[in-house]
Amino acid sequence: MAGTFGSFGIAMSGLRYSQVAIDVASNNVSNVGTEGYVRRRVVGESVASDANPGLWSRGTGIGDGVQVGGVNRMVDQLLDVRARKEHGTQSALNASLEIMNRIEAGLGEPGDKGINAALADFRASWQNLSNNPGNAAAREQVLASANTLVDTVRQQGSHLSSEESAVRQRLLVDVGEVNTLAADLAATNRSIAAAKLAGVEAGTLLDQRDRLAMSLSELTGGTATIRPDGGFDFAVGGVNLVTGRDAGTLDMVTGVNPDGTGDGNPVTFQITTSAGVTPLAGVAGSIGSQADAVDRVIPNYRAGLNDVITTLANEINTRHQGGFDLAGNPGGALFSFNPADPVGSLAVAITDGSLVAASSIAGGGLDGGNADLLATTSTVETSYQRLVAVFGTEVASAKRLAGNQAVLTAQIDNTRESLSGVSIDEEMVNLMAAQRSYEAASRVITTLDSVLDTLINRTGLVR
């Protein structure tokens, strides 16, 4: 639009655009600490003076100013997909490492509170008895050290059971959280579709959509796929949990009862939607690591510990039954246990120190030959040390994997942050640029006002 009055419209468009730029920069600064917020950038478009020129027309103007073409969220969809994948892997490794660290701490190895130390004290008590087989205190010390060994074994078994129970409870909580997040994502998808249909800015809804998808990826290792209407479909193990406005549920079929107890079966999952029920081959993310801990990590260590304790009890009982007590009678079993649960049922079978079979000679002689034999270490110590060492190696491996993954995840996050994160310095520059643009447009209006004042009020005056 040519002419003086047309220039007012151009200047006004500059004022409006600068005001939007100031508002966007102000909103970015205000949300600098908001989790999941993606910075915005206003996009300007030049307004042509001849929007639909004729074939032989000649424009007389140079343009009609500027208008807001949109407010863009500074995101890279491919980078976001990569970030969700890496966060899902990181969450799985962190969950596995956290569980293993707690188990390792409960072993008390190496240290003076673990089974290895209790076993060494047990052997030492037999050695003391072999030096003084007639001493009642030495005999009671053997029984006391045996009870200490039993208590230490049971404590470790109790720790494993407690950890297993805690992981099962966590599984129930996390599966419930997945279903809540899935329902929230479906509701957000509905809101995004409605906002786009109405032409309403949906940036805040898109931020919420991304946060929900990230949380679901961390819990399940699932993948999000963008829809034409701006929402996300979310799949777990290749099966859609969220499809547009509809959300299904993730269910544990076996492995964990509703009260958090185990049912003796491996943990399995399924997804239930309006279309039916689909079994899952497996779930990744932190839920997958928790299921692996319940199905493999804890049972494998418990099985190894049961083997060690079974060997220990049988070996000690055999040696003890080959000796003779203070009265010269053959020794009985020193330990009792249930073969179905050696760790949890191990107990000292005798309570009278005179029944301790320290002698290798029948007839009640004060001989310490059998006590000396019982003081000798065997393959039991080696087997237990190997069990602990193997588990320690698994913990170290999990720590390395989690550490390596953390470096990669941090790199992806830093790249995303450089694009989507709010920089106070950058926003200050944007604010100053918008301020100067606003002032310049205001100056144009002031100039035009002066020009019109001269034209209207002073032109033609005769002095």
CA pair distance 400, 97, nearest whole angstrom = 10
Cβ–Cβ < 8 Å for 205, 192 = yes
Contacts of 286 (CB under 8 A, 6+ apart): 91, 92, 94, 95, 174, 218, 219
Bond before 258 cis per omega within 30 degrees? no
Structural domain contains residue 12: yes
Residue range 88-108: average pLDDT?
Answer: 95
Rg (CA), the chain: 38
Structural domain contains residue 368: no
pLDDT at 216: 97
Structural domain contains residue 35: yes
CA pair distance 87, 215, nearest whole angstrom = 9
pLDDT at 46: 86
Closest by CA to 103, choosing from 40, 167, 52, is 167
CA pair distance 288, 295, nearest whole angstrom = 10
pLDDT at 36: 87
The structure tokens 């029948």 sit at 362
Residue range 252-256: average pLDDT?
Answer: 94
pLDDT at 113: 87
pLDDT at 54: 59
DSSP H helices, 221-363, are: 285-292, 298-321, 342-345
Structural domain contains residue 36: yes
Contacts of 323 (CB under 8 A, 6+ apart): 330, 331, 357, 358, 359, 360, 369, 370, 371, 373, 374
Q: What is the DSSP string of 200-261?
A: ---HHHHHHHHHHHHHHHHHH--EEEE-TTS-EEEEETTEEEEETTEE-EEEEEESB-TTS-
Residue range 338-362: average pLDDT?
Answer: 93
pLDDT at 213: 96
Domain hosting 450: range is: 4-74+422-458
In this predicted structure, the answer to whether residue 334 has a pLDDT above a threshold of 80 is yes
Residue 461 pLDDT grade (very low, low, confident, very high; cuts 50, 70, 90): low
Cβ–Cβ < 8 Å for 147, 153 = no
Structural domain contains residue 32: yes
CA pair distance 324, 361, nearest whole angstrom = 7
Q: How many CB atoms lie within 10 A of CB 463?
A: 2
pLDDT at 429: 93
Structural domain contains residue 60: yes
Name the residue with higher pLDDT: 6 or 401: 401
pLDDT at 64: 79
In this predicted structure, the answer to whether residue 50 has a pLDDT above a threshold of 80 is no
Residue range 277-291: average pLDDT?
Answer: 95
**Cα 156 to chain center, whole Å?**
26
Q: What percent of the chain has pLDDT over 90?
A: 74
**Cα 133 to chain center, whole Å?**
58
pLDDT at 58: 61
CA pair distance 225, 244, nearest whole angstrom = 10
CA pair distance 270, 237, nearest whole angstrom = 10
DSSP annotation of 330: B
Residue range 377-403: average pLDDT?
Answer: 94
Residue 385 pLDDT grade (very low, low, confident, very high; cuts 50, 70, 90): very high
Cβ–Cβ < 8 Å for 98, 293 = no
pLDDT at 375: 92
Number of domains in the chain: 1
Residue 173 pLDDT grade (very low, low, confident, very high; cuts 50, 70, 90): very high
Q: Which of 119-128, 165-174, 198-207 has the lowest mean pLDDT?
A: 198-207
Residue range 316-345: average pLDDT?
Answer: 94
Structural domain contains residue 9: yes
Structural domain contains residue 18: yes
In this predicted structure, the answer to whether residue 65 has a pLDDT above a threshold of 90 is no
Cβ–Cβ < 8 Å for 229, 196 = yes
Which structure tokens are listed for 159?
A: 């720790």
